[in-house]
Every structure is written in structure tokens, then in C-alpha cells.
Structure 1
Amino acid sequence: MLFPLSYLIFFFFLIMGILISISSPSWFGVWIGLELNLMSFIPLISFKMNSYFSEAALKYFLIQAMGSALLISSSFLFISMTLISLSLILFSLLLKMGSAPFHFWFPQVMEGLMWPQVFLLSTVQKVAPLTLVSYLMITETLSKLTIVSAIFSAIIGALGGLNLMFLRKIIAFSSINHLSWMLIAVSMSDTFWLFYFSVYSFILLSVTSMFFKLQTFTLTSLIKSDQNSSLFPLIISLNFLSLSGLPPFTGFIPKWMLIQAMLNQSLFLPTFFLLSSALVTLYFYLRIIIPFILIFNPVMCFNSKFKSFSFMSPSIIVKSSFNFLGLLFPFYSLLL
């Protein structure tokens, strides 16, 4: 079991905090919801007595407390200096979700988490800030600030993941890069970012589930893991290719739609940076994929040091099958 049964109460308040934030009519209510969400997520990080979990929980708490303090203090200026107040609120939300240039804490916190918490931090914990950022898209200045943050996130998410051996840091910089696409989508339409976020969440669920089953945290341990199943290299490779947004996998569909929308609105410069960063991220995904495909040999001696794991388990197959829906997308296009 991922978490003790008694921790269901924390999951309940985690979701409750998100709902309070996105449905509140005032920034004070938003602040209360975010604080409830924060205090519910801390026990989920440090549910085991471990120094790494405690360090990650402390770092996460300090950063989120800083973001909450900036948000509630900025809201006091709303009546007298509206644009400055909304800009500072936007910065506080970018800090909370780990968007560039406020990304410095995100990879370090991710490094101290287990894979289920990595998935929660990369997806669930971004729902409230992204929704609140979409509420702020009422002036052209705020939209431009969001687009600038998206460009920075694309660059840093791409360059930061190069030459890394730790899978959690690679997923962290990958999340920052995907966040850039979501921020661009937020500045354009709620439908776009919700669709992109949903697809990204399903793809990341399949990737983190496999890493959790294998209990692997570095590229070396992934290469040395038990590969007795012939589906092992195939499923992981296709999942990462889908996460990179390579056609014709499912991860390409929201990027394709977003690229068309950006070109229709003449956002050529952000499109250039996002596509260039996608090419760089594809490189460090290939660094994960290529080695254990080339070295693949079921009888290699070091494989005996790892527990046997069958990728024929229904949960892994079901989660990974979502990445292959993009292969059917051309047929849907022909029917329209």
C-alpha cells in the first residue's frame, strides 16, 4: 500500500483545499484553501521517519509559506494599486507551482520524495495555482508576464535536465518544461490547459508507476534492473516518447493543438522557444531509453541482483495503454 489507511484524511483535506481555493470569491479564501492544501501535503511527504523526507518537507513548507505570505500581503494592495497587486499575486502563484524563474526549489524537493509523492507534486499540487493564474488573465500585461515565465520555464526545463543521472531530477525538469506549455495554454484558453494537464497527468502516472514498481531512482539502476520481460524496454520507451510529445503518441496531441492555436494568435517567438526546448527534452529522454535497449540481454549477470518484475501486470498495461491512443488519432481525424 502506498500510504497508510489513516492518511486518507490528509488526501481528503488536500482535495478540499484545492476546491476552496478555486471556488473562493476572495483572495483571503484562496489563501485559506492553499494553506489547507499545504498542511495536508506535508504529512504525505514525511509519512516515514527519514531524513530525506523530512528535509524535502521542510524545504517545501518554507517555499510554500513564502508564496502564501506574498499572496496575502499583495492582496492588501488590490484597491489602491490593482495592477501591481495582481502582478505580485501572479508571482506568488508561479513560486508555488515551481515555474521559472522561481523554480530553484522544485528539483531539490523532488529529489527527496518517493515516486507517489513525485506524481502528486507534479500534477495535483499544480491544479489550484494554474486555475488561479487563469483567473488573472484579465489584462494584457498579466498575459505577457505569464508568457515570459513560460519561455523561461521552457528554457530552464530543457537545459536543466541535460547530463543528469537522477531520474527524479529529470522528471522535475521535465515537469518544469511541460509547465511552460500549460502556462501558454492558460494565457489563451481554459480548455487548452485543462486538456494538456489531463494528458500530462495520465502519461506521468504510467511513468512513475513503473519506476515505483522497480524502486529505481537513477539511470544506472534502471539500466541494471530486471529485464526478463520482453515488454520492459518497449513499454518504458514508448511511455517516454509519449512524455516527450513525439508524434504519433498521445503526448503529441495537446502540443499539436497548442502549436496551432499559438500560430493563429501570432505567438511566433514563444512557439520557437517551446519547440526548441521540446527538441532538447527529447534528447535527455533518449538518454534514458537508448542505453537499456542497447544493453538489453536477459542473461546478463548483474540482472540477478534485482527482484523479478513482470510488466504483464494489468495495472501497468492499463496505465501505459493511454500513451498509445495517439496512434488512433489519425483515424478519428478521417471520420470527422
Structure 2
Amino acid sequence: MNPLTTSLIGITLISGSLLTMLSSHWLTAWLGLEMNLFAIIPLIINPHNPRSIEGATKYFLTQASASMLLMMAAMINFMDSGQWSLLNLNNSFASLLMLTAILMKLGMAPFHFWVPEVLQSSSLLTGTILLTWQKLAPMSILYQTAPSMNHNILMSAAVISIAVGGWGGLNQTLLRKIMAYSSIAHMGWMTAIIIFNPAITLLNLSIYIILTFTLFMTLMINQSTTLTALATGWNKAPIIMMILLTSLMSTGGLPPFTGFAPKWLIIQEMIKNNNLILPLTMAIMALLNLYFYMRLAYSTALTMFPTSNNTKLNLLFNKQTNLPLLSTLAVMSTMLLPLTSMILIFE
């Protein structure tokens, strides 16, 4: 892609998310979401092939429908209250439409069907942007409007997302689809706690972004998109496979890695609010995610593919990807659990 075009797309993508996150007016928040939508479409289409065009079309139709519902909710709320502030969402029908639009934007159940398909149609770099940066703008709107939402519907969508994210990834062999279902489950965890303690939602989002960046960087180094393609990884790059192994365990929420901290805090906060059955159900369903993470880790990092030692020489002829932040992200994604006590103090 032309460097000037890439720079323009990057600036539009960043400014769109920042505009939504910093705005308190429905029109400017909607404008930021639209800038995000039109900036990411060229990235999905690149490289140009029928599958990427199909993915871009699915993404555009879903996000455009969500933007339409969001604007309709804002107009209904304006006619009811006479103001455009994000913090005053008093109309119940408008809040229901707004919740539906945000769930579609975040790719949460029952509006999750576009996430695996679009991610499978995109490159690894575009998939990283879709699962990290593109979540910031709708999550900021949900963060501000959560007190006005129907909490029963919000909690139901969160639990269904955790279940779908677990069951959907069980029999997948395509790595991008596995990461898509993982994202659906993580969005469910963030949404479940936003009712009780929004600060933990921000912590979960930050750790999720770090983990997702780390996993996608290891996949970019290997240029692997399927489970089979990673089978020879341990022969070629054992250190990268070890980073992938620990990052997968951390993403699944296995102690003593960083990913255990948000699940621990979420379950603890729900128990404080006299919810016992709900966190127990969420923890049980999280074992489904941990299972397919373990299966992926076993087949890539814990087994030696039966090939000759000459296979290791292939690495010398492959184009190496320079990712200087990988070491920093690997440490952050695995060793931040001891800092959880500091987070509890400042909370």
C-alpha cells in the first residue's frame, strides 16, 4: 500500500477513536465511529482477493447497521429529553437500541457472527487492529452509558458471549478464528463487571490488548494462520514458541500469569455484590477457553514435529520480521500478576 495512503488511514483511524472517547455529544461520538469504519475497510481489503472483499462487505454492513441504530437511539433520546449528552440516556427504548448497537460494534453475542468471518478474511496485522484498537471507541461509549442500560439484558449478553466464545473455539483449527472467539469471550467478561465496577473493565481491556498484541506478534513472526502451520515452530524458533505458550496460558486466565488478575478481580467483585451463581457459571465456561488454549499450546510448543534437523536451516532463508516490542509485551503479558495488590490499593 502507498505510504501516503497508509499514513492517511492510520491518522483517520486514530483520530476517529480519540474523537469518540473524548466526546460527550452523540453526534461527535457517532462521527468518530464512522471515521473508524471507513478507515478500516481498506485495511481489510488489502491484499485484494474475493475473501477479503467478502469480509469487508460483512464488516461494513454490520457496522453500518449498528451506526444506524446508534443514531436512531440518539435521536429518540433527543426528542424525549431535548439534549444530546451521552450521560443522560433516560428513554428506555433508546437505551435498548443503544445497547444493541454497542453489542454489534463490539461483536458480542448474539451479534457475534461477523467477528470470526471478518477476522479470517483479514491479514494478521489488520486482525490485530480489529481486535484491539477497534474495541476502544464502542467500549468508551458503553463505559459512559452503562448506568442507563438495562442491566439484566447487559448481563445476559455478557454470559452468552462467554459461553459462545468458549464453545465456538473448541473445534477450530484456524488461528484467527480461535482469536476471534477468544475476543468474544473477553468482551463478555468486561461487560459483566462494568455494572458493578467499571474500573476493573478498563483494567481487563488493557490486559486483553497487551495479550492480543503479544499473540498476534508471535503469529506474525511465524507467518502462521493455521494449527498445522505452527507444528514445526518448535524446531525452528523455540523461544518464540515459548512466548506463545505462556501468552496462551495467560490469555486463558491461568495463574500465575497476568491474565489471571482480571478474572480474579471480576469474580471477587461479583461475590462482594452477593452474586454467587453468576461468577461460578462464568468461571466454568472460562474452562472451555482454557481447553482450546491448552490444545493449541500442546500441539505447537509441547511437541516436537517428526522432521529431520535440516528443517531448522529453513529459518535462515525466511524473511525475518523485526518486532522490537515483543520482548516487552511478553514480560507484561506474563509477569504482572504481583502488581494486582497495588491495583487494589489504588482502587
TM-score normalized with structure 1 length: 0.90
Aligned partner of 1:245 in structure 2 is 253
Aligned partner of 2:331 in structure 1 is 321
Cα 1:216–1:70 change in 2 (3 A) is same
Q: Report the 3-state secondary structure (helix = DSSP H, G, I; strand = E; otherwise coil) of the residue aligned with 2:12.
A: helix
Aligned partner of 1:175 in structure 2 is 183
Aligned partner of 1:266 in structure 2 is 274
> Equivalent residues in 2 for 1:119-158 (5 A)?
119-139=128-148, 142-158=150-166
- Return structure 1 stretches of 4+ with deviation > 6 angstroms: 309-313, 330-333
Contact preservation (8 Å) 1:227, 1:297: yes
Residue 12 (structure 1) aligned with residue 11 (structure 2) = yes
Shift of 1:131: 1.2
Shift of 1:297: 5.4
Aligned partner of 2:212 in structure 1 is 204
Contact preservation (8 Å) 1:185, 1:192: yes
> Equivalent residues in 2 for 1:111-122 (5 A)?
111-122=120-131
Kindly, what percent of the aligned residue pairs are identical? 31
* Structure 2, unpaired ranges of 5+: 81-89
Shift of 1:292: 3.0
Query: For the residues of structure 2 that align with 1:23 and 1:293, how far apart are their CA atoms?
Result: 42
Q: Deviations over 1:75-122 (max 9, x none)?
A: 222244811111111111111110111101111111111111111111
Q: Write the letter of the residue equivalent to 2:269.
A: A
Shift of 1:300: 3.2
* Structure 1, unpaired ranges of 5+: none
Residue 82 (structure 1) aligned with residue 91 (structure 2) = yes
Contact preservation (8 Å) 1:232, 1:311: no
Q: Write the letter of the residue equivalent to 1:41.
A: I
Query: For the residues of structure 1 that align with 2:193 and 2:2, how far apart are their CA atoms?
Result: 33
Cα 1:14–1:315 change in 2 (3 A) is closer
Q: Once structures 1 and 2 are overlaid, which stretch shifts more, 116-125 or 38-47?
A: 38-47
TM-score normalized with structure 2 length: 0.87
Residue 100 (structure 1) aligned with residue 109 (structure 2) = yes
Cα 1:311–1:66 change in 2 (3 A) is closer
Contact preservation (8 Å) 1:229, 1:311: no
Equivalent residues, number: 333
Q: Report the 3-state secondary structure (helix = DSSP H, G, I; strand = E; otherwise coil) of the residue aligned with 2:119.
A: helix
Cα 1:311–1:320 change in 2 (3 A) is farther
Superposed CA RMSD? 2.7
Query: For the residues of structure 2 that align with 1:286 and 1:247, how far apart are their CA atoms?
Result: 14
